[in-house]
Amino acid sequence: MTRMPFDVLRALPDGARRGRLQTTHGPVDTPAFMPVATHGAVKGVAPWLLEELGATIVLSNAYHLAQRPGVDVVQALGGVHGLLAWPGPILTDSGGFQLFSLAALVRVDDDGVEYRSHVDGRRGRFRPEDAVMVQETMGVDIAMCLDECVPADATAARVEGAVQRTTAWAQRCVAARRRPATALFGIVQGGFDPALRARSAAELVALGFDGHAVGGLCVGEPPEETRAIAAATVGHLPATRPRYLMGVGTPRDLLTFVSMGYDLFDCVLPTRNGRNGMLFTREGKLTIRNARHAGDTRPVDETCACPTCRRFSRGALRHLMMTGEMLGAQLASLHNLYFYLHLMREIRAALDEGTFPERAERAAGAWA
């Protein structure tokens, strides 16, 4: 299989780096944040608005799309790009984390995952080979191996077993590859044991993946533990391949993990918080439902150039949120996604200019 091209354009002594990933559907400048379109859409945000906000790559979920509308339907609609109406690169998670989150409906063994569908209750089996086939059939740019993700309180024996199973499944994923245009990433597991993380990384690196992800974090552990394991793991991943830290995080998290040398990120916080009325600003968190915003004519963030801040006041946005108008949730999500994507642009510019992290710190503002 031909490796997906990845160039490190600039690397700083502390680990932060500026890169460019080449995919079938175009380049991705890194570090990059991927808006989450789990079921085939970023909630409340049309794809042309994502482009306007500055997104270059989005993330969807192979397991969920296989459940509904089904792989055959996705293929008939023009693949995952046709379903999402998104012309740029798409990365899909295989579903390992989602199956972990549906633990009451699944049983894991060495062959794969036996599940009861959360959609219609039917029983099925999802194996590493199925994960690769589903993602390749849907025409994704970057596919993820099937891995076993365990909870934060898992026993040492269970964590070690998950590492063994993740490696065995990764070997089967590599053997199942058929489509050169779809890159394949392995996922490092190992819980909160640095030695197991190092072992998992070494075993996966030896398989020659196009890139490497660090999974099994943000599963209920304290933030300082997330940072410690991310820092301990990144050095075991090759500098010549992209590094993806899955499922993080706040704006301050992004700065922290970029500094470590990670390249790709995803998180549901921008849209989930937006739907609930919490907005990201350079002054920190803004809860738009608070009564003090009722008559406020200022935009959410006076330094922001997003469509929401260009057109709507805090008072107007609060009114939409309080009356349950779907436009309110959409506008809040637009603003939050812009905040994240603009922050990543500022980070890349700072890396290009050699002003990282000072310029990036200013862009993140008061966010902790």
Which residues are part of the catalytic machinery? 93, 266
Residue 27, classed as helix, strand or coil, is: strand
Say if residues 210 and 182 touch (Cβ distance below 8 Å): no
The helix/strand count (H/E) of the chain reads as: 15, 16
Residue type, 109: D
DSSP conformation letters of 230-287:
HHHHHTTS-TTS-EEETT---HHHHHHHHHHT--EEE-SHHHHHHHTTEEEETTEEEE
Angle between helices 194-205 and 223-234 (to 10 degrees): 40
Question: From the centroid of its chain, how far is CA 342?
Answer: 16
Residue type, 71: V
Residue type, 233: T
Q: Strands across the sheet with 106-109, in order? A: 106-109, 112-116, 123-126
Those residues whose C-beta lies under 8 Å from the C-beta of residue 80, and which sit 6 or more positions away, are: 40, 60, 65, 74, 90, 92, 138, 139, 140
Residue 60 to residue 77: CA distance in whole angstroms: 16
- The C-alpha angle with vertex 182 and arms to 12 and 235, in degrees rounded to 5, equals 30
Residue 123 to residue 106: CA distance in whole angstroms: 9
DSSP H/E element including 7: strand 6-11
